[in-house]
């Protein structure tokens, strides 16, 4: 089983045997988060139903935690399969119109203080 190397410990919001949630290494907005399926799977449709549901429950819980933590009304859920590895980006939108958030230039993350705050608001149902 080919697994990804975990990101820096200080960026981890949640992890278990199947996936991890962390702040993006090069965020385009404050709170930009990535949810990564650990096992190498090239596309969502290849995940068994139970795993897909588990992944999406984690995406929902993370989205809700970001909305509450950042006190915002909108996040974008972005799934692109160019990397040929199942992962989601959750990108907070701050008082911008449409897709302008995607025009931001990513900068390397140096402040991990949001991790604790997001963890407090991460609730799985």
> What band does 1 get if pLDDT is binned at 50, 70 and 90?
very low
3-class DSSP state for residue 14? strand
Right CATH number for 9-121 from 3.30.428.10, 3.40.50.2000, 3.40.50.720, 3.30.2040.10? 3.30.428.10
> What band does 20 get if pLDDT is binned at 50, 70 and 90?
very high
pLDDT at 95: 80
**Among 93, 58, 99, CA closest to 74:** 93
Query: What mean pLDDT is predicted for residues 20-28?
Result: 95
d(C-alpha 55, C-alpha 31), whole Å? 19
pLDDT at 87: 93
pLDDT at 5: 60
> What band does 15 get if pLDDT is binned at 50, 70 and 90?
very high
Burial pattern 74-112, b for ≥16 Cβ within 10 A else e, equals: ebeeeeeeeeebbbbbbbbbeeeeeeebeeeeeeebeee
Query: What mean pLDDT is predicted for residues 3-13?
Result: 80
* Residues 72-75: contacts with CB under 8 Å, at least 24 apart: none
> What band does 121 get if pLDDT is binned at 50, 70 and 90?
very high
Query: What mean pLDDT is predicted for residues 20-37?
Result: 95
Delimit the domains of the chain by residue range: 9-121
Decide: 41 and 76 in contact? Cβ < 8 Å: no
**Among 33, 55, 37, CA closest to 119:** 33
């Amino acid at each position: 089983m080919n697994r990804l190397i975990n990101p820096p410990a200080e960026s981890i919001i949640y992890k278990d045997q199947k996936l991890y949630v962390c702040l993006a290494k090069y965020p385009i907005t404050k709170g930009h988060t990535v949810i990564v399926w650990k096992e190498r799977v090239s596309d969502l449709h290849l995940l068994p139903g139970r795993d897909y549901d588990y992944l999406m429950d984690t995406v929902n819980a993370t989205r809700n935690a970001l909305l509450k933590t950042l006190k915002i009304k909108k996040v974008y859920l972005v799934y692109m399969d160019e990397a040929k590895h199942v992962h989601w980006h959750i990108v907070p939108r701050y008082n911008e119109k449409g897709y302008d958030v995607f025009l931001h230039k990513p900068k390397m993350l140096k402040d991990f203080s949001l991790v604790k705050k997001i963890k407090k608001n991460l609730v799985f149902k």
